[in-house]
Structure 1
Amino acid sequence: MSEVTIGLFGIAGMFVLLALRVPVAMSMLAAGFFGTWALHGERSAVAVLSSETFSAVSSYSLIVIPLFILMGNIASAAGFSRGLYELAYAWVGRFRGGLASASILGCAAFSAVSGSSVATAVTIGRVAIPEMNRYKYSSSMATGAVAAGGTLGFLIPPSTGFVLYSILTEQSLGRLFMAGILPGILLTLLFVGAILVTTTLDPKAGPHGEVVPMRQRFERLIGASPLISVIFISIGGIYAGVFTPVEAAGVGAFLVLVFAVLGRKLDLKGIHTAFMDTVKTSTMLYVIVIGAGIFSPFLALTGIPQSLSDMLSNLGLGALGTLIVILLAYVVLGMFMDALSMIVITIPIVFPIIVSLGYDPIWFGVIAVIVIEMGMITPPVGINVFVVKAIAPNVPMGTIFRGVLPFWIAMLVALVLLIAFPEIALFIPNSMFG
């Protein structure tokens, strides 16, 4: 049996395990371990298992995962998200669809401390959806804005998607974080634009809100200043070269905890809950990293990435055509798989192809994250849609999916702009690191 055939059997076995609801980490670990055993014997498989497990759990760069997750959990438990939402509403609420736009801006701001799509959608959704219902927003606009806004948590640093991509491809996490800033701002503005277009065509979808006096606007700015200062110190510290991403995560988590305790927004029970949730989420991500670390060498040994690259080259599509084929495959996969599964399973396969085509790996990291974001709101899975459904149980799934359609189009526009103008993603990291 050839190496490629063994590799195909290994991939098929992994998808069978996923279909049987085996966790993605265990599915990848089993496929990689037994696949390596079939290729090079028991000793080689055990050696890869032990070495990759040790290197994953002892990696200094992976400390960034629990620290940024802790920062987001404390901010959520302390209720800082309401301050961000109220600040955004004070400035944009008076416009048509202003509450929905405030939800997008609140999601963007909270994404800068959470790094999680689901956490962002849940945290902002619990505050925003009841308010939009009170002002008689259409159910599709209210739920669609929160579901789409939550996806910003996977793009705006500190993004869990970038952390996993950095580990899988051995690219600089600092460069990836910086590469996500301008695309994150671009996508936020496009989401707000989608709201303006939708509410202009259908004024009942998002009526005007109240005009907040200027004094109250600045009062809300002061109220939200603790979390805003954490965002600027941690992310700005990376940009200024003062902190590494790991150091920025530690500083950010410490500052959020200090502000929460001094502001009496968090008691001992809340702190305990935030830490325990951090341990559970971090453990899950660490196990995923271990599984990916065993699956990736197995794929490399089979030669499947190189064979796939040769096959795509023989089609004569060129670099852009091959990229479009890969992105279309991501869109299809996004209909059935969650974001973390997609990134850890696909990147070891497609990354060598992207590099061979001459594309910048940092730029592709941004592209991949946005395409995976699109999958978060694409039926039939659309994990963010299910999250919002849990917050608004009386809204039919079809209504939520209809509500996210304008935002899905906005993502597609962002994708086209990034492909046409790669400097949108590369300007900041190139100006910082050369």
Structure 2
Amino acid sequence: MPYRLTVLGTGYLGATHAACMAELGFEVLGLDVDQAKIDRLRRGDLPIHEPGLEELLRRNLESGRLRFTTSFEEAANFGDVHFVCVGTPQKKGEYGADVSYLDAVIESLAPHLDRQCLVVGKSTVPVGTAERLAEKLVRLAPAGAQVELAWNPEFLREGFAVRDTLHPDRIVLGVASDRAEKVLRDVYAPLGEEIPIVVTDYPTAELVKSAANAFLATKISFINAMAEVCEAAHADVKQLSLALSFDERIGGKYLNPGLGFGGGCLPKDIRAFMARAGELGAYQALTFLSEVDAINMRRRARMVDLARELVGGSFEGRTVGVLGAAFKPNSDDIRDSPALDVSVTIAQHGGKVTVYDPVALGNARAAHPDLGYADSARGAARDADVVLLLTEWQEFVEIDPEELGLVVAARNIVDGRNALDADAWREAGWHYRALGRP
């Protein structure tokens, strides 16, 4: 391979990108300032749950193509292309994105860049960030203008990150020179020629990710707004969604009604998008995202209300079994998890809550030690006055309603993801309720 790659930041995005680039045949050096995380990665111990990623990590460690370090000097000396994959969380008390981790990486790496290279941002950032960082690189790097910046946003879905990296539906290259474009085309050439590549400027590349997440959030909140109307009209949002999905202008993807979105991307990204639009004087263009966000949060409150109805109007002295802690299946990510938000709210209202999740229990326990936890779905449901399905793990979708009914105090269930067979649960004697359905 003509280039050696570094990946700066080994969280969810960085660990995935490093392992996948090594899998494509590149020599890759991953960097993080967290020594404990680097030690784990060197042992082939993945600190996150992502299907298929640990196998890639271990295989490429063994081959020698993938290594890890905490030294920016080593990374600068090693790499021809430096991918920046650090987080941009929501600022505390504000909607805007905190890009301080990005600045810290640039300020730590640039003083060691004494030869021609390309720094590639993959993080989701407010538009205008790339141009500012490009100027900072040239100012701080000994090699000056020989150090270029490109912006190459990621479009990973948790649970499908390996597939999305090795088989992306598109690649966006925000570049300021033909050389930067050529380098990135070379880097991604092993993925195949059939993948669409969009070459554009910095601000457009930055906006692509923000716009994509805003659209997805809007589509999810749209069907959940329809669920609110369906409840008021005694209609069935699942059938409504099905009918809409046959319209090729609309399609069925992300049109699943339920508890709404969470995680470390959509909520904070749409808020950061609104904040940046306001700074640019274009706030009115994105005011609809305020309602998208509000609809999403209302779903959580409605879930609590449905559960309260099924236990007689109060959670005091009631036992609640919760299936799911992660914000989505096939992940152990609990950031802004609707499942845990609902669980904590019910506990605050006097309910005795017991949670089970196939992989996210450790993270949930650490974040919310006051909740109860079980090591199985049956354990979470034992003696429950109501069971809540809050994360649609396949394990939960396939539960035998008759078998689960043997351990509960009352056969009440609220399907927060519209994932269960309502008829089968009702035939087994359960009082079945779901968001947006009669």
Per the shorter chain, which TM-score range?
under 0.3
Greater relative contact order (CA < 8 Å, ≥ 6 in sequence): 1
Q: Normalising by the residue count of structure 2, what TM-score does the alignment of the two structures yield?
A: 0.27
Q: Normalized per residue, which structure has more strand?
A: 2
Structure index of larger Rg: 2
Structure with greater proportional helix content: 1
